[in-house]
Amino acid sequence: MEDSLTVTDNRTGRTYEIPVADGAIRAPDLRQIKVDDDDFGLLSYDPAFLNTASCRSSITEIDGDRGILRYRGYPIEQLAEHGSYLETAHLLLFGELPTEAELEVWTHEITYHTFVHENVKQLMQGFRYDAHPMGMLISVVAALSTFYPEASRVDDADVRMLQVHRLIAKVPTIAAWSYRHSRGLPYVYPDNDLGFTANFLSMMFKMAEPRFEAHPALVRALEVLFILHADHEQNCSANAMRSIGSSKVDPYSALAGAAAALYGPLHGGANEAVLKMLAEIGNLKNIPAFVEKVKAGEGRLMGFGHRIYKNYDPRAKIIKQVADEVFEVTGRNAMLDIALELEKIALEDEYFVSRKLYPNVDFYSGIIYQALGLPVAMFPVMFAIPRTAGWLAQWLELVQDPEQKIARPRQLYVGSDVRDYVPAGKRRAVAATV
């Protein structure tokens, strides 16, 4: 059997042979299909990339129908059970889990870069007292490019690697400081004798004590959450990272754009939206009425549904276990009862079952973050910290891929045909459409 597709253009009766590789045709091959010589050639129309592969990637594999998520071939369940976040970041970025010696060097490199320039602190202090921490994170990450102008040399492998170390190390510091700022608390410098996650918790919560000792169960829970959120192949923010990175801008600017994509309620803002929804429901007895409203098309059940997972989200299973471990330390969160009941009803309801709507990772992560004492505005920030490794892995793959060029989609132009300019005084009012 030939690895090709035979296409007959019914407009002309002509037949074309289009090669198939890795289960895909190359969209530019469609351009030869024309009705006449003036025709630009056939385009494929795919708003929101529902069926378009934008790259070849060997980082993360998802099989949405079977509920599979693997980083470089390793099942997410195994990494979450046995691994650490820094090991996982190494795996994503370099393709392999580090040996003991490699892990020591890698950990040292990241730890060495956790501090930020003092001017970054001043920059952050300039934000309004009630600035959203995600808005602060996005802006400050973009500003880092002005501190490291050499980062624009994206074709230099050593320069690239230095920025990778800096970003993975500094994003938690900026993230924690954005939280301290919103609480009016002094910023806490990194404690480089602590591990990645324990240091982050110290920068978040340390007050007058000489050393902040986070509960080991909470450190581990956060480690697992970070592993689960480290990458998720070509999602909205990874696509933003690649699209912006394809212009060969420095990784700070590209990562700020990726973080901005993550901020939206349909992506990384979803866990914030889940908590707002649970607060709006407020009480177990209000759940049936809320579900009816969703079914009537008035709003969505936040934390449910996924573009890719149409069976279940494997991360949601792991995170539910983590939630139990966290609640043993922090005590049960009132929101959890509402979430569990909502999940139970939705999983039995025909509306959700027939549309394959299952809880996604964000359904529980918000409840855990709240139990850790974090305000909802910090939730997308908590997502951005570990996703930094994924964004950078996607970026490194992009800049080294000889097939990639500046990202530039086509459009189907459906606007006015040519028309002549009319002076303002002679124009007729037309209802605005934008």
Binding residue for ligand COA, selected from 164, 301, 368, 382, defined by CB under 6 A: 301
Length of the chain: 434
The residue (of 251 and 305) whose beta carbon lies closer to ligand COA is 305
Q: Which amino acid is at 13?
A: G
Q: Active site residue: 306, 324, 337, 417, which one?
A: 306
Report how many residues bind ligand COA under the rule CB under 6 A.
Answer: 15
Q: Is 267 a catalytic residue?
A: yes
First to last CA, the chain: 51
Closest to ligand COA by CB, 153 vs 300, is: 300
Does residue 229 have an active-site annotation? no
Least CB distance to ligand COA at residue 348 (A): 15
- State the maximum Cα–Cα separation within the chain, in Å, rounded to a whole number: 80
Of the candidates 242, 247, 246, 240, the residue with the CA atom closest to the CA atom of residue 262: 240
The answer to whether residues 278 and 339 touch, using CB atoms and an 8 Å cutoff, is yes
Q: Find out whether 235 and 267 touch, Cβ atoms under 8 Å.
A: yes
3-class secondary structure, 194 = coil
Q: Which residue is nearest to ligand COA (CB)?
A: 305
CA separation for the pair 335, 330 (Å, rounded) = 13
CB of 351 to ligand COA, least distance (A): 7
Among positions 20-59, residues that touch ligand COA (CB under 6 A) are none
By beta-carbon proximity to ligand COA, the closer residue of 56 and 355 is: 355
Which residue, 170 or 232, is less far from ligand COA as judged by CB? 232
The reply on whether position 305 binds ligand COA by CB under 6 A is: yes
Residues in region 187-226 near ligand COA by CB under 6 A:
none
Active site residue 362: yes
> What are the DSSP E strand ranges found in 24-167?
60-63, 68-71, 74-75
Q: Give the separation between CA 228 and CA 80, rounded to whole angstroms.
A: 7
Residue number, 215 or 307, with CB nearest to ligand COA? 307
Q: How many Cβ atoms are within 10 Å of 280's Cβ, its own excluded?
A: 11
Show the tokens assigned to 199.
């240091």
Of these residues, 165, 267, 349, 401, which one is catalytic? Answer: 267
Amino acid sitting at position 416: S
Could you tell me the smallest distance in angstroms from the CB atom of residue 267 to ligand COA?
6
Site string for ligand COA, 254-273 (x = CB under 6 A): ------------x---x---
Q: Which stretch binds ligand COA (CB under 6 A): 37-45, 296-304, 375-383, 411-419?
A: 296-304
Q: Annotate 49-87 with DSSP letters as a single string.
A: GTT------SSEEEETTTTEEEETTEEHHHHHHH--HHH
76 in Cβ contact with 322 (< 8 Å): no
From the list 144, 294, 319, 377, which residue makes contact with ligand COA (rule: CB under 6 A)? 294
Interaction of residue 315 with ligand COA, rule CB under 6 A: no
C-beta separation of 336 from 328 below 8 A: no
Site map (CB under 6 A) of ligand COA, residues 334-363, x = contact: ---------------------x-x--x-x-
Point out the residues that are catalytic: 267, 306, 362
Residues of the shown chain interacting with ligand COA in the complex, contacts defined by CB under 6 A:
266, 270, 294, 300-307, 355, 357, 360, 362
